[in-house]
């Protein structure tokens, strides 16, 4: 676990220099600096779990009784006894998204008041530079006046989408051709995202079975397969850009160029744990102890389906954490960017095939045994970018991973920082902005612990370097 330290990447002197430079600029508005002080900021390497684990938030936002941890454990034990040991992926899915006990279903874990904070919540510059990455790639690909899509996977509170739309709208040649497509499974978060995007009239006709309509940005038409519109919610954002919500990326209409953004989405996808045992790759399963009191890991005696899905380049590894769901999402991304243009940006903590066991739970700033108190803590695993690369081939080309710090600096972070500093109304505001930016770019903090990975169709390779400093 890496707790945010008080050390700063930008020294006080360099801040003072930047302050000085910043004061010579004018006119940028600051919003959503949700950061109080660097020591308050936690990220997914160092999750801060609020002590309020005895309350859940219903979809209307009211507090309700939380199911006891012991009830969930009982439910899991009964399930395992009935069906046999379950995969780590099944266990993770239950812990995160079980409609009654699941972590994401129960409460809002985001922000200073919540359990952890993500880069877009730390500072608006993150979302702005991601939007500029899309604009630059849109320009390089010469998309022109045809409708195109921004797709965000797992939008959390909607802050990244909000900052991106604000920037996209400021480009007149883009603002009227873009539509936003959000992939979100939590209805409570979808409600929060709509609010954040300033949507006054949310259309949920699909939920009542009346939903047939058109989707902006669907060049080949709104339909997928049988002709039903597959979004479950839609509305017009305060920027005049239409927004649609889906359960899965596969439900988003195809036919338009798409820029796909996923910040801290892939780490939430369930993983299968595989371990070399007696010279063979075998799956690690979750079982109950013989005295029926606890959960424990066991090794599957035979080859399971997940083993057969391991890319051949990785079949000799001693340990693997493979997400089949990530493979499905990547397959869809590869099809979109290859067939219709655009590109994807995947930002997450992770490694390039060098780590072994990263499956863990976070509670009260501490890393816990992920089998301890299921549903009460966030369970997560590092993204293995080498596996993502192997799963994408030969359909699509990938770039990176590069550190978040490298990416942001290559996207002119300093210029934007200076402009925002100039717009601050007080020294305190400047201090807050500087502290927030330090968290984003400091190699010892999110700047070095998060990585950026880009995906394109093979044609993109002929158009020169990819925006953001990818090699
Ligand atoms: C850690 S949050 C990321 C938040 C946001 N991207 C940000 O940067 O602030 C993970 C998000 O993914 C969503 N999510 C998790 N698993 C999902 C799945 N299988 N399909 C769709 N959304 C999922 C969660 O509900 C949440 O919105």
Our answer on whether the CB atom of 89 is closer than 6 Å to any ligand 1 atom is: no
Our answer on whether the CB atom of 266 is closer than 6 Å to any ligand 1 atom is: no
Q: Is residue 446 part of a domain?
A: yes
Our answer on whether the CB atom of 185 is closer than 6 Å to any ligand 1 atom is: yes
The preferred substitution site among 44, 112, 268 for testing ligand 1, maximizing ligand atoms within 8 Å of CB, is 268
Q: pLDDT in tens for each of the 471 residues of the chain?
A: 222 333 334 433 344 433 333 332 222 223 323 222 222 233 333 332 222 222 222 223 333 445 566 888 889 999 999 999 999 999 999 998 887 888 877 666 665 555 678 999 999 999 999 999 999 999 999 999 999 999 999 999 999 999 999 999 999 989 889 999 999 988 888 999 999 999 987 887 655 544 445 555 544 343 333 446 789 999 999 999 999 999 999 999 999 999 999 999 999 899 999 999 999 999 999 999 988 888 999 999 999 999 999 999 999 999 999 999 999 999 999 999 999 999 999 999 999 999 999 999 887 667 889 998 888 888 999 999 999 999 999 999 999 999 999 999 999 999 999 999 999 999 999 999 999 999 999 999 999 999 999 999 999 989 999 999 997
Q: Is residue 31 part of a domain?
A: no
Q: Is residue 388 part of a domain?
A: yes
Q: Is residue 85 part of a domain?
A: yes
Map tokens 């997914």 to a residue.
44
> Taking a C-beta distance cutoff of 8 angstroms, is the pair 413, 129 a contact?
yes
Domain of residue 272 covers 80-204+228-470
User: Ligand 1 centroid vs 60 CA: distance in angstroms?
Assistant: 20
Q: Residues with Cβ < 8 Å from 54, sequence gap 6 or more?
A: 66
Our answer on whether the CB atom of 121 is closer than 6 Å to any ligand 1 atom is: yes
pLDDT value, residue 415: 96
CB atoms closer than 10 angstroms to residue 270: 21
CATH number at residue 287: 3.40.50.12710
Task: From 210, 127, 111, select the one nearest 161 (Cα to Cα).
Answer: 127
pLDDT value, residue 201: 76
Chain centroid to CA 82: 34
User: Ligand 1 centroid vs 352 CA: distance in angstroms?
Assistant: 22
pLDDT value, residue 109: 64
Q: Is residue 52 part of a domain?
A: no
Q: Is residue 219 part of a domain?
A: no
Q: What are phi and psi of 383, to 5 degrees?
A: -80, 130
Q: Is residue 53 part of a domain?
A: no
Our answer on whether the CB atom of 380 is closer than 6 Å to any ligand 1 atom is: no
Q: Is residue 75 part of a domain?
A: no
Q: Residues with Cβ < 8 Å from 135, sequence gap 6 or more?
A: 167, 168, 171, 174
CA distance 69 to 320: 29
Instruction: Provide the domain count of the chain.
Output: 1
């Amino acid at each position: 676990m890496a707790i945010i330290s008080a050390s700063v990447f930008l020294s006080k002197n360099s801040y003072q220099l930047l302050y000085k430079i910043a004061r010579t600029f004018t006119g940028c508005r600051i919003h959503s600096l949700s950061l109080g002080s660097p020591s308050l900021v936690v990220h997914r390497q160092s999750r801060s779990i609020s002590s309020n684990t005895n309350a859940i938030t219903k979809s209307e936002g009211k507090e309700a009784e939380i199911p006891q941890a012991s009830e969930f454990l009982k439910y899991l034990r009964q399930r395992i006894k009935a069906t046999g040991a379950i995969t780590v992926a099944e266990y993770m899915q239950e812990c995160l998204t079980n409609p009654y006990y699941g972590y994401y279903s129960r409460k809002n874990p985001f922000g200073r008041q919540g359990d952890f904070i993500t880069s877009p919540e730390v500072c608006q510059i993150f979302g702005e530079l991601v939007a500029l990455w899309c604009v630059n790639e849109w320009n390089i690909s010469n998309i022109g006046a045809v409708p195109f899509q921004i797709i965000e996977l797992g939008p959390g509170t909607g802050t990244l989408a909000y900052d991106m739309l604000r920037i996209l709208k400021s480009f007149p040649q883009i603002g009227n051709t873009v539509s936003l497509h959000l992939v979100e499974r939590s209805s409570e978060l979808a409600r929060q995202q709509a609010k954040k995007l300033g949507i006054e009239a949310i259309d949920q006709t699909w939920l009542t079975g009346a939903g047939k309509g058109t989707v902006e940005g669907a060049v080949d038409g709104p339909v997928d397969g049988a002709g039903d519109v597959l979004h479950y919610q839609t509305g017009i954002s305060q920027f005049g850009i239409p927004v649609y919500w889906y359960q899965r990326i596969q439900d988003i209409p195809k036919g338009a160029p798409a820029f796909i953004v996923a910040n801290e989405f892939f780490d939430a996808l369930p993983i299968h744990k595989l371990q070399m045992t007696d010279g063979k790759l075998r799956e690690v399963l979750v079982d109950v102890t013989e005295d029926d009191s606890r959960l424990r890991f066991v090794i599957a005696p035979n080859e399971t389906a997940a083993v057969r899905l391991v890319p051949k380049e990785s079949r000799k590894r001693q340990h693997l954490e493979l997400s089949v769901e990530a493979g499905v999402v990547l397959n869809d991304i590869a099809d979109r960017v290859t067939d219709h243009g655009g590109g994807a940006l995947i930002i997450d903590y992770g490694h390039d095939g060098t780590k072994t066991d990263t499956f863990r739970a976070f509670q009260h700033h501490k890393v816990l045994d992920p089998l301890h108190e299921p549903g009460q803590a966030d369970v997560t695993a590092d993204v293995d970018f080498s596996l993502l690369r192997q799963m994408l081939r030969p359909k699509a080309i990938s770039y990176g991973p590069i550190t978040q710090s490298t990416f942001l600096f290559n996207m002119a972070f300093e210029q934007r920082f200076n402009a925002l500093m100039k717009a601050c109304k007080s020294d305190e505001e400047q201090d807050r902005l500087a502290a927030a930016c330090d968290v984003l770019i400091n190699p010892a903090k999110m700047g070095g612990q998060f990585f950026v990975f880009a995906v394109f169709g093979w044609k993109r390779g002929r158009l020169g370097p990819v925006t953001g400093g990818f090699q």
